[in-house]
Amino acid sequence: DTAVSQTPKYLVTQMGNDKSIKCEQNLGHDTMYWYKQDSKKFLKIMFSYNNKELIINETVPNRFSPKSPDKAHLNLHINSLELGDSAVYFCASNVLNEKLFFGSGTQLSVL
């Protein structure tokens, strides 16, 4: 019955690899997001996406790309992973201008 679920919970990989994190929400929300939480616990928006519009934070490298097969899913694909990509990545969703619901996070470690 998890509202926003993301997999995997932990992801350990080598530099240069390509990886994906999956996110699904069963709340019927129209907007989904990806956030990055760095080692100092600071949260930054990466993407905002609904079925009409993708908004990208200008600081996000183009190695990161969101992919949405349907309204309930927003996956995050990362190419050519770098050490600095190590962080916790959170998926979230909401209805416009209402409370935001977060997944439990994916801890990515790049070696």
Partner 1 sequence: KQEVTQIPAALSVPEGENLVLNCSFTDSAIYNLQWFRQDPGKGLTSLLLIQSSQREQTSGRLNASLDKSSGRSTLYIAASQPGDSATYLCAVASNNAGNMLTFGGGTRLMVKP
Interaction site with partner 1 (CB under 8 A): 4, 31, 33, 40-45, 48, 55, 57, 90, 92, 94, 96-105
Distance CA 22, CA 109 (A): 16
What's the token pair of residue 46? 């990466």
Distance CA 46, CA 64 (A): 9
CB 63 → partner 1: shortest distance, Å?
A: 20
CB 37 → partner 1: shortest distance, Å?
A: 9
CB 78 → partner 1: shortest distance, Å?
A: 20
Q: Which one-letter amino acid corresponds to residue 6?
A: Q
* Residue nearer to partner 1 on the CB measure, 21 or 92: 92
* Residue nearer to partner 1 on the CB measure, 33 or 64: 33
Distance CA 70, CA 85 (A): 26
CB 48 → partner 1: shortest distance, Å?
A: 5
* Residue nearer to partner 1 on the CB measure, 31 or 75: 31
* Residue nearer to partner 1 on the CB measure, 15 or 100: 100
DSSP characters over 58-92? TTS-TTEEEE-SSTTB-EEEE-S--GGG-EEEEEE
